[in-house]
Amino acid sequence: MIRFLMAWMLVVSSAGALGEEIAPADELLEQATSIFQRGVDLSERDPQAARDLFKQAMVLYEAIVEHHGIRNADLLVNLGNAAMLAGDTGQAVLAYRRAHRLRPTDPRIRRSLAFARSRVGVDLTASPEQRLHQAALAWRGVIPRNAMAWASIVGYLALWMLALARLFGKAPWSRSLLVPSLILAVLPLGLLAYEQRAIASLHEGVIVTRTPALNGPSEGVYEPTFDRDLPAGMEVTLGERREGWVRVRLIDGRETWVRESAVREI
């Protein structure tokens, strides 16, 4: 705990009576990288000391992300790695999910996210709606966005060329290429549009600390929804918010209420 507080003291510097000012991002990054490397060097000789150092690095990386508003995939991967090695599965899943959203085709990020998810310890069957959503976004881990856009452009160009060929009657074979060209023009564009709509409308989140799940937004009034608390690292969809509580939907379609402090939006 003392080392954790020392890490936070590295983040915050005095700014007079007006409050606190966060140290510059480049300074925090240098400190976080140095502390993380010290943790790696100590990991075999003194695992507990190494874990404390990873917690310090996690605090510093998170300060860059949250207080300076800097979001890039490499920084988020560093945060996720520090959190994973510090034993904070919730923060690790959150960081890797944010990194994956920025760079979905990066195999390193996909592997890290898969490993963090495996540590959550919950395996739920996705609802039909969720399976459809996952299928519509399955391309994100394989095909870059710019490749999808170019595929759509090529499809539209092919349609125009086929139309001109038919107009001048010089390509009797053009009819057989009409449907493939139409699919190539429309499908990638539709999938890109769905991705943007899903990101904007589906407020996805991650449970960052183990928390009770209730049938309503109040402790002592509503019964627990499940036999066990929701574990850190569980991914949910965020819904209605009410006086410090938020309604969340699990991947299997079930809904419950948790405290807002226990969940972070991706």
Q: Where exactly are the structural domains of the chain?
A: 2-118, 131-201, 203-265
**For the CA atoms of the chain, what is the radius of gyration?**
24
Helix or strand holding residue 257 (H, E): strand 255-259
Quickly list DSSP for 80-107: HHHHHHHT-HHHHHHHHHHHHHH-TT-H
Quickly list DSSP for 190-240: HHHHHHHHHHHH--EEEE-S-B--BSSS-TTTS-BSSSSPBPTT-EEEEEE
- pLDDT for 15 equals 35
- pLDDT for 204 equals 93
CA distances from 177 to 96, 149, 162, 217 (A): 42, 20, 8, 57
Q: Which of 224, 219, 211 is nearest to 264 (CA)?
A: 211
Q: How many CB atoms lie within 10 A of CB 226?
A: 13
- Rounded to an integer, what distance in angstroms lies between the CA atom of residue 208 and that of residue 258? 11
For the domain 203-265, what is the CATH code? Answer: 2.30.30.40
Tell me the backbone φ, ψ of residue 123, rounded to 5 degrees. Answer: -125, 100
Q: How many CB atoms lie within 10 A of CB 193?
A: 10
Task: Report if pTM > 0.95.
Answer: no
- pLDDT for 4 equals 47
CATH architecture of the domain 2-118 equals: Alpha Horseshoe (1.25)
Q: Profile the chain (266 residues) by mean pLDDT over runs of 10 residues.
A: 47 40 86 96 94 96 91 95 97 97 93 96 84 85 88 88 73 71 88 84 91 93 94 96 95 95 95
- pLDDT for 21 equals 66
- pLDDT for 160 equals 82
SS3 12: strand
- pLDDT for 16 equals 36
